[in-house]
Amino acid sequence: GFRYYVVGSCEFNSSKLNDIESTPSYYYNKLEYIRFSSSVGKYVGYTEHGIKNAERWNNGPEVITSRGEKERYCFRNVGVFTESALTKS
């Protein structure tokens, strides 16, 4: 069978918004074909299909939605992530 999935990550070294990186990566059959980078502010394609989608998504509403994810999800939850990591170490 075929498998499609998205892995979202929030990387940070402080709770400041500009120190947080939001990176959702899109995979098909274990191969990453496109990724959004909040530091670059756009989608980047890694395969022929990913490059075509990146061009289309960077010129549509998808890029605007993804740009807001860093603040909406990562920034709001950085305290939860930090507290969880500190209590486990």
Three-class HEC string of 3-22: CEEEEEEEEECCCCHHHEEE
pLDDT digits (tens, 9 = 90+) for 2-40: 899 999 998 888 878 788 899 999 999 999 999 999 999
pLDDT digits (tens, 9 = 90+) for 28-82: 999 999 999 999 999 999 999 999 999 999 999 999 999 998 888 888 888 787 7
**Residue 56 is part of which domain span?**
4-88
pLDDT band at 86 (very low <50, low <70, confident <90, very high): low
Instruction: Name the pTM for this structure.
Output: 0.80
| Number of domains into which the chain is organized | 1
Give the CATH number of the domain where residue 78 resides: 3.10.320.10
